[in-house]
Amino acid sequence: MGQNFVQWVTASQRAVLSFAYLLCGDREEARDVVQDVYSRLAGKYDGITDGIDAYARRSVTNEVASRRRRPGLVTVPLDRDHPAPDSTSRVADKVLAWRLCDELPATQRAAVVLRFFEDRSFAEIGDILDVPESTARSHVHRALASLRGRLDQEAIR
Amino acid sequence: MNDRAEQAFRDAFAEHGAEPIQTVRPRRRFDARWAVAAIVALIVLAIPLALYQNSRRAEPVAATPATTQPTPATAELSGLSVPKEGWKWVSRGDVAVQVPQAWGYSDYLRPDWCAWGDEPTRPEGPYVATPPGPVLAIGCPDVGPEVVRMHVAFGAPTKDRMPTEIKMRAAGSGGVWVVLELVATDDDRALAEEILATTVTFERDASGCAPQVPFTSTDDRPDPWDIRTAAGVSSVGVCRYTDNAYSPETPNLDGSRLLNSEEGAALVAAIVEAPEGVSGNPEECLAGYNERAGVVLRVADESGVHAVYLRVEGCRNLGWDDGVTRRKLTDACRPVFAHPPIRFDGGSLEASENCGA
């Protein structure tokens, strides 16, 4: 059984790390989050026979949300700055989208990541986040509406 | 239908999600005793380290070419001198050091897994610390300096690596350090100094491995050599490299091991039997991820020394490559990772099933 867990972690951690990073935007925090999640799952793995990947993503989402609620948590990124965007509209759009993510509630951000990074259906997003499909759809649509507003503002500058 | 906002999210996530993220870092819990020990050790070490680094700037550790004839078993591969009687070479990065032949490898203080509540088994004797893996020390019990066993490790010391007295020597891109037990004797200290005195940097280690992986992408291939033509395999050097995408100038040899004639010939025969093609699923790829990780086999046979690549990380071009033919992953790779310090650090489930322990 233990070996199964090791194999699952080995196989899943790249994708789970990416998911965590897209939710929190910080590599160090993403590694912390994933390690915490794996640590907790280690004791439960044998009891979760179905949907372990979805469970892990839900756990990551909850962990990020929980960290956002804790007061006084300040993370200082040590990595290099990202290169400045070029002048094309597409670059500007994705920069705006990435900035907007920082303002989204954790669950809404998770829904957007699952939709547009992992190409999940709304039903799958609902299963992963443990919310009704309609709520998953609403999360994504609200985020899109917010971004459209930002894009419109940018266009009239 | 993709509108502009949707596409913006997709582009943003594609860009940021594709950034290579090192796998989960080692982390170890500390109790107060360790913290105090670490602070004391930091203070104690600060002065000699500073003095040493000054002296190192003045007299850098030079690469040591072979000064005596290699032993027959490693004649084709080793770039280092014959070790002292009863000693052997161990290496990581671009640094090698001799340790007594009886020393084994252990991950005792930095184990892969503790989540099952088991206290790691303390090695019976001194050892060489295996390189840290991708996921370490989850749910481990706190341990104090009283359980530390004498061992050699590579790299720059960090506070969680100094629970007891250590001796260290900077060299190459990092250094070597000998961790002593809580109650160290003068003999222990003398042995530590004797070990450190053998420290060298190298272009090829005792298994014929270079400090840096010879490829920069999973598309790179070795010089063509049809492994089916191998004859009279005398030894095979197994060179394990981790991804160093963030600091490609840093030597990334994680460990090496030498297979004797019998082991090497068996491995070559098993590789030949692997079906042609590549393993992995490129659709799972994150761009730039684990492009520089893998294993390089240095096969010594009657015709010379030849490189064969084995890629198990990432999701593209996984499997064996002799520069002529790519072959899929099979359980032929399992012996490669069967003994430390060569470790299987993860990858696709396919790679894990074929090559993992």
Domain layout of chain A by residue ranges:
1-77, 80-157
Chain segment B143-166, per-residue pLDDT in tens: 667 778 899 988 865 545 456 888
**Nearest to residue B313, comparing CAs of B245, B215, B218, B213?**
B218
Which one of A14, A31, A97 has the shortest CB-CB distance to B9? A97
Test A116 with B19 for CB contact under 8 angstroms: no
List of chain A residues whose C-beta atoms are within 8 Å of the C-beta of residue B116: 2, 42
Right CATH for A1-77 from 2.20.28, 1.10.287, 1.10.12, 1.10.1740: 1.10.1740
For the record, the structure tokens of B308 come out as 């064969």
C-alpha neighbours within 13 Å on the C-beta side of residue A66:
10
**Nearest to residue B182, comparing CAs of B27, B40, B26, B28?**
B40
Does the pLDDT value for residue A126 go beyond 80? yes
For the record, the structure tokens of A30 come out as 């993403």
> A-side interface with B, Cβ within 8 Å?
2-3, 5-7, 9-11, 13-15, 17-18, 21-22, 25, 27, 30-31, 34-35, 38-39, 42-43, 90, 93-98, 101, 112-113, 115-117, 143-144, 147-148, 151
ipTM of the complex: 0.82
- Residue B285 — pLDDT band, cuts 50, 70, 90? low
Q: What is the mean pLDDT of residues B111-134?
A: 70
- Residue B57 — pLDDT band, cuts 50, 70, 90? very low
Contact B146, B169 (CB under 8 A): no
Test B9 with A147 for CB contact under 8 angstroms: yes
The DSSP result for B192-260, as a single string, is: HHHHHTT-EE-SS-TTS--SS-S-SSTT--PPP--GGG--S--EEEEEEE---TT-TTS--EEEEEEE-
The answer regarding whether domain A80-157 maps to CATH 3.30.70.20 reads no
Which one of A90, A101, A144 has the shortest CB-CB distance to B5? A144
List of chain A residues whose C-beta atoms are within 8 Å of the C-beta of residue B7: 90, 93
Q: Which residues of A20-31 are buried (b: 16+ CB within 10 A; e: fewer)?
A: bbbbbbbbbbbb
Write down the pLDDT at residue B44: 38
Counting one residue from chain A and one from chain B, the pairs whose CB atoms sit within 8 A come to 127
Does the pLDDT value for residue B61 go beyond 60? no
B177: β partners: B153, B168
Q: How far is B182 from chain A (nearest CA, A)?
A: 30
Residue of A nearest to B136 (CA): A35
Positive/negative CA dihedral, B67, B72, B76, B82: negative
Rounded CA separation B170/B157 (Å): 10
